[in-house]
Chain A
Amino acid sequence: MLDLPLLSFLIWLPIVGGIGVLIVGDRFGAKQFALGIAALTFLLSLPLYTGFDATTANMQFVELLPWVETFRINYHLGVDGISMPLILLNTFITVLVVIAGWEVITYRISQYMAAFLIMEGLVNGVFVSLDAMLFYIFFEGMLIPLFLIIGIWGGPRRVYASIKFFLYTFFGSVFLLISLIYLYQLGGSFAVADLHKQPIELTPQILIFLSFLLAFGVKVPMWPVHTWLPDAHVEAPTGGSVILAAITLKVGGYAFLRFALPIVPDAAAQLDWLVMLLSLTAIVYIGFVALVQQDMKKLVAYSSIAHMGFVTLGFFAVYGIARYVIGDRVAPEGVPFDLAAQMADGRFDSAILAMQGGMVQMVSHGFISGAMFLCIGVLYDRMHTRDINAYGGVVNRMPMFAAFYVLFAMANTGLPGTSGFVGEFMVILASFKANVWVAILAATTLIVGAAYTLWLVKRVMFGDIRNGEVAELQDINQREFIMLALLAGAVLLLGLWPQPLTDVMEVSIENLLMQALQSKACVGALVGGCL
């Protein structure tokens, strides 16, 4: 089993399967074929968890082949505790998305299924790439299927939304490309592990960090480059919204961990206030924006932005936490990172908590936002409107659906016992050690988030039956029940027992944190520009 190139399978099986679906066409069972491929990919991803060694921060399941010799680009794959959960999330959500499109998509079915399968393969590629250029290729290639998904099967303003989505993300990522080429010329390698060790002076570090921030910030998305997300969500078909919220936003967060923090730690330490500020703006301001939305999808889209704010807040709070330990944000040059001293103080644990909280929040948000969008899809398929005012009293006609809906809404507000609570709580707890006011501001989201989510539930679900259309609603069928039940199980499991998730990432995060807190701005001659 261990000899199989498992990661390659996870990338190429869905892509080849997707092409197969295209060739099979709409005539014979494109849906069944696609479901088979998605399920097989999910099963293949399970050995990543069972065979994972949580005691080491080293990359596992590594594959290394030379690829483009001219630029020394390698086909280098591997996973650690940070990427592995996200791969499982991706393969799991893709199965649901295929099921979600089962009866809903009525034209060009094979193309629809193929686009999602190819998307799955490319996203897996993003998470397992250990070569920066390979990562970039998957990162960009991902845009193509999603662009088509929004544009072909989307709503009335789909053209605007799809092109806006594409250009926003493309604009961000070309700066990533420039930075990667710059790094390549500095060290002669695209390997992520080499980039982590590459010493860089402070000024270039800051420029590189800003371009990373632009590239990944658009993906996350962070305020103020978030405006593509509500448009894309509103116009995308249900499956597209689920993939967008549950998977592609995570790519941005993941990339911060893999690239921004370890490659340019000094710049990250200098500019952590900027990211924290943007994150807090997302959490508080976007929360209020969500409050006034009339469109259900838009509301959930804005709440996604607010929740992703927690992720970036958690990642960058570590500098604020570490500052109290060593008098500076990162270990100064020449002084090796002193783990023991930090452990004694307990601050290091807090930093780990913050980062872990961000990761848990990513996974949990994947489940919850996916579920929310699926629920909206369920309603939209019946009523063909997402306007909150068109609903009311749905619970009277769809009791089973209402139960799920309320559960996911509660998870979205961060109710203890659901996965939404765990991540937010960890981040808030840890950020108290960085700055009390940051923590307090972040905690207000519990109020705002509860306000907009519960108000949504109240207006859609409860009250009297609003009109004749609502009166004729049918409760969810078996297919919809299976999807929602699977997600409900995941949300509750992660909420009640998050340890399996936090355990696998613990060592990797510790290792990452040590890299992120160790200065590399002035190795060698340059002393003047040191921190």
Chain B
Amino acid sequence: MVNIAIATPEIFLLCTICLILLIDLFLKEDCRMVTYLLSQVALLATALLVYSRLGGEKITGLNDMYVRDDLGSVLKISILLLAAGVFVYARKYLKDKNLWKSEFFLLALFAVLGMMVMASANSLLVIYLGLELLALSMYTLVAFNRDDGRSSEAAMKYFVLGAIASGLLLYGFSILYGLSGRLDIAGVAAYVSGQQVMTNLPLLFALVFVVAGIAFKFGAVPFHMWVPDVYQGAPTAVTMFLGSVPKVAALAMLLRVLAESVGLANPAWAQMLLVFGLLSVFLGNLIAIAQFNLKRMFAYSTIAHMGFILLGALSGSTEGYSAALFYTITYAMTAAGGFAILVLLGKEGFEAETLDDIKGLNERNPWYAFIMMLLLFSMAGIPPTVGFYAKLSIIQAVMQAGYLWPAVFMVVMSVIGAFYYLRAIKMMYFDKPDNSDPINAELDFNVLISVNGVLMVVLGIFPSALMGICSAAMVASHL
């Protein structure tokens, strides 16, 4: 069955990107704003398209390669809105750093397209296609500031390691294909359902490769080596994009591959995720303490957060998956906001990236300091911020799956994690500023960062709606 209509949003986005590419050719240097605005319109219009198709049954099409379900739609809407938000934040950075080029937006749009494909993939091969579209765009974006040696180095590392991970993933897929003779998710699932998972060595072998590939995309220990270097080396605007939006796509991949296709092999891959998750929570939080560079600190804290997401997903239950989705969406918002504050503090020829740069922020601008404090408390998981509910639902799912001691380990590590968030807050509130230059931002930036910060508390006090959306999406997709 072809039913090309189910891919309308993706097709629309692709056409718009091509159109923007063309228009951009004829724009003068000082009209880049048009490209930016068109990109925003493209993202929002696509989000509307996806939204208009929300609800309703799960439909597959394009020869069963593609699926439209609520899970995919929720993931896509989050990806699109997060990307639109990141664009607003990035604009200031790009202008400040003399990187105001249309390539940033176009590459990011291609990455978004790749992520949407991943979110809607119904075949292992389509997942891989989407992943590569995302990854190739990201490699280029990381190297975006071509005069900066660190940026190029980061891109090189990211590319080499990313290529290896893609290879691992593809190899795992190929073994699954060899075993089941199928590439579509339902076909693989049908194969797995007839197997004794724990004794089927080839299947376990395939799972190891698939899980390793996914863990790499998450940046989970022991596949985390690229994260700090790439976060630090990439221009902050790119780090912001990389640190927020693709996390949703990584979860999409995890849900489509591990949960939907080899979901019945949960006892096997849950053990791998348990090890990766606990190691990530442990190392991420511990090493983050030693970081003085905020971008690196956020990188290690991301590793710890990804550990939480993996641990949430390992329970294999609807609660666990929806907890992971809730965690991912809220974390992506928090991370985008955190990097936005870094963007805010930077200025022409100066990159704000160490703890010293946020010193005394409360005296320079109490409102931004307050927002940053909310974001950091949310990352630390202190109520009444939304991070608390994210952690609560993950821990609840982990305990429900019978992992009491891992849950204890997780909360103890989050106490250790609280230390470096507190240290950042201490820098902002308890120390005197090194410089007292005024901090300027345009209206759209100010409005968005305020909304972003306040959302941390609003969602923390009223988490029901978003939690409801997450679990409804899981139920609609029979996860």
Contacts and interface: CB of A to CB of B under 8 A. Distances in A.
Interface of A: 67-71, 108, 111, 133, 136-138, 140-141, 143-144, 147-148, 151-152, 158-159, 162-163, 166-167, 170-171, 174-175, 177-178, 181-182, 184-185
Contact of A68 (B366, B415, B422, B467): B467
Interface string B442-468: 000000000000000000000110011
A141 B384 contact: yes
A170 B366 CA distance: 25
Contact of B377 (A70, A144, A174): A144
A178 B407 contact: yes
B231 interface: no
Nearest to B367: A22
A182 B468 CA distance: 22
B289 to A, nearest CB: 12
B12 interface: no
Contacts of A144: 377, 382
Contacts of A67: 464
6 contacts: A140-B388, A141-B383, A163-B419, A167-B419, A170-B382, A174-B415
A177 B394 CA distance: 12
Interface stretch (B266-274, B351-359, B395-403): B395-403
B423 interface: yes
A111 B404 CA distance: 41
A181 B396 contact: yes
B427 to A, nearest CB: 10
Given A138-B383, A162-B426, A174-B414, 12 more contacts: A68-B467, A70-B467, A70-B468, A71-B396, A140-B382, A141-B384, A167-B419, A170-B382, A170-B418, A175-B408, A177-B395, A184-B396
Contacts of A182: 399, 404
B160 interface: no
A167 B418 contact: yes
Q: Give chain A's interface secondary structure class.
A: helix
A75 B388 CA distance: 17
A140 B415 contact: no
A178 B382 contact: no
B405 to A, nearest CB: 10
B235 to A, nearest CB: 32
A137 B388 contact: yes
B164 interface: no
Contact of A137 (B377, B384, B404, B468): B384
A162 B426 CA distance: 9
Contact of A177 (B411, B422, B423, B464): B411
B463 A68 contact: yes
Contact of B411 (A136, A158, A162, A178): A178
B468 A166 contact: no
A177 B414 CA distance: 12
Interface string B363-401: 000100000000001000011100011001101100110
Nearest to B467: A70
Contacts of A138: 383
A177 B423 CA distance: 24
Given A68-B464, A151-B430, A159-B426, A166 B418 contact: yes
B190 interface: no
B412 interface: yes
Nearest to A174: B411
A133 B464 CA distance: 14
A132 to B, nearest CB: 12
A71 B422 CA distance: 29
Contacts of B414: 174
A185 B383 contact: no
B418 A162 contact: no
B429 interface: yes
Given A68-B467, A70-B467, A181-B399, A175 B411 contact: yes
Contact of B471 (A70, A111, A143): A70
Given A166-B418, A170-B418, A182-B404, A71 B392 contact: yes
Which of A137, A162, A171, A184 has most B Cβ within 10 Å?
A: A137
A69 B419 CA distance: 32
Contacts of A70: 393, 463-464, 467-468, 471
B392 A177 contact: yes
Nearest to A68: B464
Contacts of B422: 147, 163, 166-167
A170 B415 contact: yes
Contacts of A136: 383
Of B377, B392, B467, chain A has the most CB atoms within 10 Å of the CB of B392
B464 A162 contact: no
A164 B408 CA distance: 21
Given A69-B468, A141-B384, A166-B418, A178 B395 contact: yes
A178 B395 CA distance: 8
A184 B429 CA distance: 37
A159 B430 contact: yes
Contacts of A143: 382
Nearest to A143: B382
Q: Which 6 residue pairs of A and B lie closest in terms of their CB atoms, listed nearest first?
A: A174-B411, A137-B383, A151-B430, A70-B467, A171-B415, A140-B383
Contacts of B396: 71, 181, 184-185
Contacts of B419: 163, 167
